[in-house]
Amino acid sequence: MLALLLVVVVVAIGCVLWFMREAMCNERLAIREKLIEAYRGQLALVQARFSEDWRQWLAQLDVLPPNASGFASAVRAGAQSVIIWNVYPSLAGERSADANAELLAAESSKDAAARLRDRVNDYSNTLPAAQRRFIMHELQRLDPNMRFPTLTAEELAARFLEQNSPDVRSFTSPNQRVRALFTTDGLRAKLSEMIRDARITVAAPGEDTTTALVTEPLVELPGWRLALFVEDRKVFDTEADRRVARYLIIGSVVIAAMTVLAFFIARGFGRQVALARLKNDLVANVSHELKTPLTAMRALVDTLLDTERFDEKTTREYLQLLATENARLSRLIENFLTFSRLERNKFKFESKRVRPLEIVVSAVTAMGERGQALESHVAENLPAIRADEDALVTALLNLLDNAWKYSGDNKRIVLQADARNGHVCFSVEDNGIGLSPRECRRVFGRFYQADRRLSKTTSGCGLGLSIVQSIVEAHHGSVRVESEPGRGSTFTIEIPAA
């Protein structure tokens, strides 16, 4: 039964642990989803703001002047390059002879080169785009340190117009007057500048965003996405750990409650098993102990009845044996009844002031002929005690009976009464078989007998000392034993003085 209970408890605890693990995993996922939803909402706001800013930026391109100056202004406004339709740059256009002449002069004069640089950087003149690019390249050949802010934009526009630009992306202004041009990297830089959030990156079409916490498509730029990355994962763990801690506490309390409940159930089962074993032992011992004197008495009676002429001496001897067995049977029955009443709390103690000498005399008298091997010593002027005289006599008789049974042929039993530390002490000393330290700890248990070999040849069923302990404790006293194997035992009862 206990093994089955253990299996049930282990399975139940395993189920609780499994449930806790699943609950904690689900809670972490739920927290993650809530945070993702919060970030997705934030990303949607960023996307909406970007869409508005992007449309406004494209609308600003429509107000640019429809000439080369508009091209330079668009580049300064953040476009990587632009094309103002039918205006600038165009593939057609007459080359400026003056510019060519200045280029020839620049090869021999730094001042001429500087003047030509200023001219090509000035978009208010009408230099064709192709000639402007050519002069910029030639001036850089002459002086590599020369820089032209619009050279990259010029080249990008030329590549787009020549249809040699698969990586160039174009966006038309609302009035379709201007087309903004970007390379992939240039557009990414422009978008990041407009978004202004270090956690959000822009992903071009085809780029992997699986490691991003959440992504959101850019409506204005098909295929492009906003991706939000969170490097510090503690943002998830902090809130999740708080909620998981509650599951751990609840699970621990449940497991502890189940363990405590299982303990009490096991304890109850143990008590039931012990009670069942006690009942079986009681029935077996009662049957055995009662059968022995009854069998002896029956044999004596049958012997007397079978005798034709009664011999006075033999008859008296048999009657004496019958009286001894009857007394033995009476003691057994009295012990069983006392034990039963004590177990059911039905034993009523009638306390009154009693002199210790009276208890000792009553115990010695009850021993009868066995008292011949008994010495009694009672100290003078002992204080009275409040006790049930019959109950204490029964306790002393049980101690004296044990001393008689477990002593050899040369018996020496001493019963003493004295006063110590406000208590009256009754001690029974014998020269019997003695007890080991382990037996001293167990000797007051029910049905315990120190020497099983002697239990087969002597009367008793191991209830005497248990009854002694119960009676003494009912008098708020204590009982102890001092013993060594082969050197006899001394049992001492201490009762508070009245």
Please determine, for residue 429, whether its predicted confidence score (pLDDT) is greater than 90.
yes
Cα–Cα distance measured from residue 353 to residue 380, given in angstroms and rounded to the nearest whole number: 17
Cα–Cα distance measured from residue 111 to residue 127, given in angstroms and rounded to the nearest whole number: 20
Residue 218's SS3 state is: coil
Torsion sign across C-alpha atoms 102, 106, 108, 110: positive
Gyration radius of the chain's alpha carbons: 57
274 HSE (CA, 13 A, CB side): 9
pLDDT in tens, 103-156: 888 888 888 888 888 888 888 877 888 888 888 888 888 888 888 888 888 888
Residue 346's SS3 state is: coil
292 HSE (CA, 13 A, CB side): 20
Q: Is residue 212 within 8 Å of residue 228, measured between CB atoms?
A: yes
Cα–Cα distance measured from residue 473 to residue 43, given in angstroms and rounded to the nearest whole number: 80
Burial (CB < 10 A; 0-12, 13-18, 19+), residue 159, is: middle
Strands 413-420 and 374-378, by their bridges, are: parallel
What DSSP designation does 370 have? Answer: G
Q: Is residue 344 within 8 Å of residue 382, measured between CB atoms?
A: no
Cα–Cα distance measured from residue 106 to residue 253, given in angstroms and rounded to the nearest whole number: 91
Q: Is residue 426 within 8 Å of residue 355, measured between CB atoms?
A: no
Distances (CA, A) of 296 to 208, 288, 308, 323: 104, 13, 21, 11
Confidence of residue 480 (pLDDT cuts 50, 70, 90): very high
What is the amino acid identity at position 81?
Answer: S
Residue 436's SS3 state is: coil
Residue 198's SS3 state is: coil
Cα–Cα distance measured from residue 430 to residue 413, given in angstroms and rounded to the nearest whole number: 5
Cα–Cα distance measured from residue 101 to residue 110, given in angstroms and rounded to the nearest whole number: 14
Q: Is residue 5 within 8 Å of residue 269, measured between CB atoms?
A: yes
Residues 6+ apart with CB under 8 A from 265: 5
Please determine, for residue 452, whether its predicted confidence score (pLDDT) is greater than 70.
no
Return mean pLDDT, the chain: 80
Q: Is residue 478 within 8 Å of residue 494, measured between CB atoms?
A: yes
Better-predicted residue by pLDDT, 3 or 410: 410
What DSSP designation does 371 have? Answer: G
- Please provide residue 176's backbone torsions phi and psi, each rounded to the nearest 5 degrees: 60, 25
pLDDT the model gives residue 236: 58
How far is C-alpha 129 from the chain's CA centre?
77
pLDDT the model gives residue 237: 62
Q: Which helix (H) or strand (E) holds 117?
A: helix 110-121
Cα–Cα distance measured from residue 97 to residue 182, given in angstroms and rounded to the nearest whole number: 32
Asked, as a colleague might, if the bond just before 166 is cis with ω within 30 of 0, I would say no
pLDDT the model gives residue 267: 79
Dihedral angle over CA of 91, 94, 95, 99, nearest 10: -120
Distances (CA, A) of 95 to 127, 132, 134, 266: 7, 9, 11, 107
| Residues comprising the chain, all counted | 498
Q: Which helix (H) or strand (E) holds 424?
A: strand 423-429
Starting at the edge strand that comes first in sequence, how are the strands of the sheet with 214-217 ordered?
200-203, 225-228, 214-217
pLDDT in tens, 318-357: 787 777 777 767 766 776 666 666 666 656 778 889 999 9
| Averaged pLDDT, 173-202 | 85
Confidence of residue 490 (pLDDT cuts 50, 70, 90): very high
Please determine, for residue 224, whether its predicted confidence score (pLDDT) is greater than 90.
no
pLDDT in tens, 280-297: 766 666 665 666 677 777
